[in-house]
Structure 1
Amino acid sequence: MLRQAPRFLLSRASMRWRRPFSTDLPAETPADSKFVDTWKKSIPNIEPPKTPSAFMTPRPPTPSTIPSKLTVNLVLPYDSLLSAKEVDMVIVPATTGQMGVLPGHVSTIAELKPGVLSVHEGNEVKKYFLSSGFAFIHANSVADIMAVEATPLDQVDPSLVQKGLAEFTQKLNSASTDVEKAEAQIGVDVHSALNAALTG
């Protein structure tokens, strides 16, 4: 019995590795119809809210060769800033550090911290400031970036950033409860990252 155990485990392992990755599965259109139907039955006089999947196109299948471009989706809870945009590279502000993503990048999920998302297309670099979120890098060279808030960096007013940083720093120094400290610390972190993005 024990002699057959390695063979049994090996056969189980090989079966496991033959299963397709989630990114290799056929692309399907996001199905929000059940939610919408339930919403319309419950609250017929109010339009149902849109979910992030409503702004995204179905994911294409994994190509057999590495494509020359990376397809990027930048989605907010209420909008889509980039939809199936083909670029050369993106650099995302992951909590583990700046992470560059090229076509053919290994599948990854990265938590995002306040910082700059750089979108490289030829010689042009477009920068967005992200408050937080997640980046989903798929094996088919598609990057889905979900952010809580995002804005083009060139639309940020440096004077307001300095003012906000001073206000939240003062709140942090005078905070008396854990909740006040946490809220002030978030404000300091976001404004510090904004300030670094603008001055760096």
Structure 2
Amino acid sequence: MLRLSARRLAAAGNGCRMLSTSAVVRDQADDIGPKAFTKEFMTKVSSTLAPPNFPSDFFKKAEAKEEGGPLPEKLTFSLYLPHKQHSKQSKVDLVLLPAVTGDFVKLDELDPEAVRAGLQEYTGKLGSLQGKSDDYEIAAAQIGVDVYSAMNAALGN
């Protein structure tokens, strides 16, 4: 058994493994393009499926930059919120975003009484759970306190 294991190990180390073909497939895929892919896709799938969309269907092509041309001095920045367009095609030096997930609401949509009640609820929960519960419940209560504290501070209370 030891001889057999040694033989297999030696065979694996001397180049008997097959090379991965993913790089070859990726190079071929780059040459095909969306139109050829869609044509091939429609021959292989049910006729009730809609053809897939590609980013090129939604975005206009970027202008071709000349080789060795100057770098732009500023970034082009757009930010859309659910209730308004904050910035569109603005030229900026730097963009700092505190998070990429979360919900935006207007301050006038927040009910100050509900925020105070939520803060009191989670503060009470956190106080009653200290030393008596598992870490998950304590963390959930702490998150509630943090969220309601931030909303309360934003409202100026």
The TM-score normalised by the length of structure 1 is: 0.37
Q: TM-score, normalised by structure 2?
A: 0.45
Bigger share in helix: 2
Rg bigger for which structure?
A: 2
The structure with the largest strand share of the pair is 1
Higher relative contact order (CA 8 A, sep 6+): 1
